[in-house]
A and B are shown apart, each in its own frame.
Chain A
Amino acid sequence: MAERRDDAPDKAREEFFSEASELVDGFGRHLLALEESVENGHGPDPETLNDIFRGVHTLKGLSGLFGAATLSGLSHELENLLDDLRLGRIPLSTAVLDLLFDAVELYGRILSALKGEEAEPREEVLTLLASLAAVSNERSGNVAFIAEYELDPETLGVLTEYEEHRLRSNLQAGLALYRLKAKFPLATIDSALEELKLRVRPVGEIITYLPTGDGGDLDAIDLEILVASRSAAAELRQAVDSDAVSVDEVKKRDLSQARTPPAPRVGERTDDSAMDLPDGRETPSPPPVEDDEPAHASMHPAPHATEAVVMPAAAGGRDISLRSVSQTVRVDIRKLDRLMNALGELSLVRGALLRYAEKLRSEPGTRRLGMDLLGVHRAFERQLAQMQSGILEVRMVPLGQVFDKLARIVRQVSREQNKSVHFVVTGGETEIDKLIVEELSDPLLHMIRNAIDHGIEPIPERAAAGKPDTGTVALNAYQQGNHVVIEVEDDGRGIDPHAVLHKAVTMGLVSMEEAKSFSLEEAVSLVFMQGFSTRDTATAMSGRGIGMDIVKTRIAKLGGLVDIVSEVQIGTKITLTLPVTLAIVGVLTFVVEATVYCMPLSSMEEAVVFDSALVREVDGREVMTHRGVTLPVVRLARLFSEPPAPQRATKQFLIVARVGTRRLGMVVDRLIEQQDVVIKALGRTLAHVRGFAGATDLGDQRVALILDVPSLIEECLTAAEGRRANDASLAFRFGERS
């Protein structure tokens, strides 16, 4: 992980810097807008706050991805604070605004540091982290937050998250904080410390041990020990029972001396840590900063101007910020596609190289030469694989980018509809091809909107059904083999299959007879049918389905599959199964009727010898029992050719394809080999042909069609088989000809 930042391809690094700078710039702009609205007496604009939050969240994901830990750590803390702000848990005071402006400025400097243009602003980051933590701690409504105590940032800076948590909990519980100081001879420190621990434990909790001094003393070490205790200082001293150990209470700061916002004065302070602060807590007080200048300088001007002020040399600083703008270029995904194509061509060269090498090796006279060439081929292959994964890596982005946008939609829609919705997201870090991500946001938005519009009931209805007032919409993503699965789940009223059937029949989408043959599950899937809409009867039939056919089409175009499961009163779950990338696929090549085809390995389970004796017919479909499960079988020769080829006597093979939970056995004539191929689109004239995902060049001037397994499975397993048979055979005839 640590190396990731350095090893990440330059392009990716550039993209990272450009995106990060854009986010930071946006952050700065939004802050200015916020400040203006606060100064004009309006409250902070929730939309703007949320934009900032999402920006920082994205920045966090991005920097995590690139191993930029400081950036990611800072974003983590900021995100917490911004979350509190946008959810109204803490008010946006001028002091908090100052901190946010400081953050913008630091972001810029950290980014410059990552580029190696300046040293990392370590101390400033530490100070800001401590201040952010202080403000966030305050949110919990507890009086005692760490920054109120006389602990310098250096001490706070070396607490681990857990220690800080313990410190905070103890202070919040009203315990007093003590600082024990002692010099321990290094030779005996372990036993001396054990003894001290034994004495302190009955009266308090040791938070941390801080070595002080510079290590110049070889024989002894100065130690500061932070102890939280309910006891008074005198009792603690008595418990410690050693003149060598000094015990002092860490007091609360006199806030009137600290750099505090113009908050209502809290009056005289006592040192009673459990004292209640009436209004003072409304405004966070960052720990005093010795050097006030930079902090103030960053308060008002735009981020770039700020950089120039804060940089050690103003002129140099300006140079840097100008340069950083021109050095970062966002990469058009199409350029990556072109690279990918070039890579595909190189794969062909590799294939040819291998063939020549094998040929040379098989002949006695050139055996040696052949071996050498094989060695060259292997090296070439390795580099090629690295290039390929490098380019693929650049294309991959975390799904969180889309999910963040959705969170905002949930807030908006639930507010519009006066519904209470809890939006739970998991797996935002799951990575997927950038092209897919861009295509995903509309369908996901649609699904989420539907879940709230039609799924989640109004509060009274939920209460009547015995459900909690707040509905839940969950968005989960995870990788499953070469696929990414995205689920949108709600605990709303569910879809009534009978109502869907009724609607489909009245709309003339299915006949009465067909309707009777549907299972309940199949009936629910009818919401995906083209033209199906429940808009006018949304309430009556407790359904959803506005434009679900569009969702399905969009997902299918990405090579994905949509499944729906719903139970009345319990809720609905829609599952999208998508390929991780669109560019390169591992395929199995096989022959049907003397033509070579490719099947993506990601959608196949296994290939076995086909035994036609096992096939039986059920409801006019061929099925067989395979590994104890009934498997629908389709003979590709029959699908692809017209008229169907005569039954063959020779051995055939069965490829078991699977997408999501659906499986289909495909009978083919001969298996060839596995290889990686670059998918090429079929082109506009063939774009409407279903059943094929694209074509590829197999390396010996042969072009092969790549099966579009999801749509094939769809075609072959769909309930309304008879109705669609014409379409399907048309598609496959077309495929065969091309």
Chain B
Amino acid sequence: MEDSASTRSFIRAILEGVREGALAGCTVQEATSGFDAMRLLPRGPYDLVLTDINMPDINGLEVIQFVRKSPHHKDTPLVIISTQTSERDIARALALGATAYLRKPFVPEELVATLERVLAPKGGAAPHG
């Protein structure tokens, strides 16, 4: 989830363009806010959750806590995207159970590599991010 439309479509374009590896053929669902995510999350299995930290209303840390408390998603890999600004927020996110983080700005390869890495231990299942 990510409140910036351009970032969302950037990420979508990258992920849908992956042709090989764990991310090939993945389906991307966008959430525009924390609430939006909370609407989506309980409804389906997701192989991976990608979230920003600084968002209006519900922030990314709250999303992580929500995701981790939910029985569906307590083990779902959760990657946060954050700007350089707050080491403390990143530390908290990891403490709350985020799997990995990616700093903005990032290049497509970094995104793909990070996501592939967090998906790796789970084996082959096709992800729906």
Interface of A toward B, CB cutoff 8 Å: 1-3, 6, 64, 69-70, 72-74, 76-77, 120, 122-123, 125-126, 129, 154, 157-163, 186, 189-190, 193, 208-211, 213-218, 221
Top 7 A-B pairs ranked by shortest CB distance? A73-B91, A215-B70, A158-B61, A122-B95, A2-B100, A214-B69, A125-B95
A sample of 17 cross-chain residue pairs with beta-carbon separation below 8 angstroms, ordered by A number, consists of A2-B102, A2-B117, A70-B91, A73-B88, A73-B95, A74-B91, A120-B94, A129-B92, A154-B65, A193-B57, A208-B62, A211-B38, A211-B66, A214-B69, A214-B70, A215-B73, A216-B71
Known contacts A162-B54, A214-B70; is-contact A157 B96 (Cβ 8 Å): yes
Do A189 and B35 contact each other (CB < 8 Å), given the known contacts A3-B113, A3-B114? Answer: yes
Is B92 touching A157 in the complex (CB atoms < 8 A)?
yes
Q: A1, A76, A123, A218 — which one has the most chain B CB atoms within 10 A of its CB?
A: A1
B94 CB contact (under 8 Å) in A3, A69, A216, A217: A69
Complex CA distance for A159 and B59, rounded to whole angstroms: 8
CB contacts (< 8 Å) of B33 on chain A: these are 190
In the bound complex, do residue A126 and residue B92 qualify as a contact, i.e. CB atoms below 8 Å apart?
A: yes
For the A-B complex with A158-B65, A215-B66 known, give 20 more contacts whose Cβ atoms are closer than 8 Å.
A1-B101, A2-B100, A2-B110, A69-B87, A73-B91, A73-B94, A74-B91, A122-B96, A157-B95, A158-B92, A161-B85, A161-B88, A162-B86, A209-B34, A213-B69, A214-B71, A215-B38, A215-B41, A218-B42, A221-B38
Asked if residues B94 and A218 are in contact (CB atoms below 8 Å), the reply is no
* Distance of A157 from chain B, by nearest CB (Å): 6
Residues of B at the A interface (CB closer than 8 Å) are: 33-35, 38-39, 41-43, 53-54, 57-62, 64-67, 69-73, 79, 85-92, 94-97, 100-103, 110, 113-114, 117
Measured in the bound complex, the distance between the Cα atoms of B71 and A73 in whole Å is 28
Knowing A3-B114, A214-B70, say if A159 contacts B61 (CB, 8 Å): yes
Beyond A6-B117, A221-B38, whether A210 also contacts B62 by CB under 8 A is yes
**A73 with B38: CB separation less than 8 A:** no
Assess whether B101 is in contact with A126, with CB atoms less than 8 Å apart: no
Q: A76-B87, A160-B53, A189-B35 are in contact. Are A70 and B61 (CB under 8 A)?
A: no
Max chain A C-beta neighbours (<10 A), residue from B58, B92, B102, B103: B92
Residues of A within 8 A of B42 (CB): 215-218
- If over half of A's interface residues share one DSSP class (helix, strand or loop), that class is named, otherwise mixed; here it is helix
Whether A126 contacts B86 by the Cβ 8 Å rule is no
Chain B hits for A6, CB < 8 A: 117
Residue among A125, A126, A154, A158 having the largest count of chain B Cβ atoms under 10 Å = A158
CA distance in complex: A73, B57 (Å) = 24
Whether B70 and A158, one on each chain, are in contact in the complex, defined by CB atoms closer than 8 angstroms, is no
The answer to whether A186 touches B35 (Cβ under 8 A) is: yes
Task: Give every chain A residue within 8 A of B72 (Cβ-Cβ).
Answer: 215
Q: How many angstroms between the C-alpha atoms of A498 and B29 in the bound complex?
A: 73
Contact B59 A158 (CB under 8 A): yes
A1 close to B38 (CB less than 8 A): no
Considering the complex, give the chain A residue whose CB is closest to the CB of B36.
A190
Q: For residue B85, which residues in chain A have a CB less than 8 angstroms away from its CB?
A: 161
Least distance between A121 CB and chain B CB atoms (Å): 9
- CB of A66, distance to nearest CB on chain B (Å): 13
Q: Give Cα A1 to B94, complex, Å.
A: 14
A125–B92 CA distance with the chains assembled, in angstroms: 8
Contact across chains for A73 and B58 when beta carbons are under 8 A apart: no
> CA A210 – CA B60 in complex, angstroms?
11
CA distance A72 to B86 in the complex (A): 11
How far apart are the CA atoms of A154 and B62 in the complex, in Å? Answer: 10
Q: Are A129 and B71 in contact (CB under 8 A)?
A: no
Q: Which listed residue (A72, A213, A216) contacts B87, Cβ 8 A?
A: A72
Q: How far is the CA of A126 from the CA of B89 in the complex (A)?
A: 11
Q: Which of B35, B69, B72 has the most CB of A within 10 A?
A: B35
Q: Report the minimum CB–CB distance from A11 to chain B (whole Å).
A: 21
Does the CB pair A72–B38 fall under 8 Å?
Answer: no
A129 to B90, CA, bound (A): 13
Kindly list chain A residues whose C-beta atoms are within 8 Å of the C-beta of B100.
2
Rounded to whole angstroms, the CA-CA distance of A735 and B60 in the bound complex is 64
The chain A residue sitting closest to B118, CB to CB, is: A2
Cross-interface CB contact of B35 among A126, A193, A214, cutoff 8 Å = A193
Bound-state CA distance A6–B100 (Å) is: 11
* Given A190-B35, A215-B69, A70 contacting B62 (CB threshold 8 A): no
Q: Considering the chains assembled together, what is the distance between the CA atoms of A77 and B88 in angstroms?
A: 8
Chain A residue with Cβ nearest B59:
A160
Interchain CB contact under 8 A, A160 and B90: no
CA–CA, A129 and B88, complex, Å: 9
- Please report the C-alpha to C-alpha distance between residue A475 and residue B70 in the assembled complex, in whole angstroms: 50
Q: Are A129 and B69 in contact (CB under 8 A)?
A: no
- Decide if A69 touches B91 in the complex (CB within 8 Å): yes
- In the complex, the chain A residue whose C-beta lies closest to that of B86 is A161
Q: Are B54 and A209 in contact (CB under 8 A)?
A: no
Interface residue from B62, B94, B101 paired with A211 (Cβ < 8 Å): B62
Report the bound CA distance from A77 to B54 in whole Å. 20
Contacts of A1 in B (CB 8 A): 101-103, 110
> A122 near B114 (CB under 8 angstroms)?
no
Q: Which of B92, B113, B117 contacts A73 (CB under 8 A)?
A: B92
Report chain B residues within 8 Å CB of A216. 42, 70-71
Chain A CB within 10 Å, residue with most, of B39, B42, B58, B88: B88
When C-beta atoms are compared, the residue in chain A nearest to B38 turns out to be A221
Q: Given A159-B61, A208-B62, check contact A64 B87 (CB 8 Å).
A: yes
Kindly provide the distance from the CB of A434 to the nearest chain B CB, expressed in whole angstroms.
24
**Cβ B117 vs Cβ A69 within 8 A:** no
CB contacts (< 8 Å) of B64 on chain A: these are 158
When the two chains form the complex, which single residue of B38, B91, B103 contacts A186, counting CB atoms closer than 8 Å?
B38
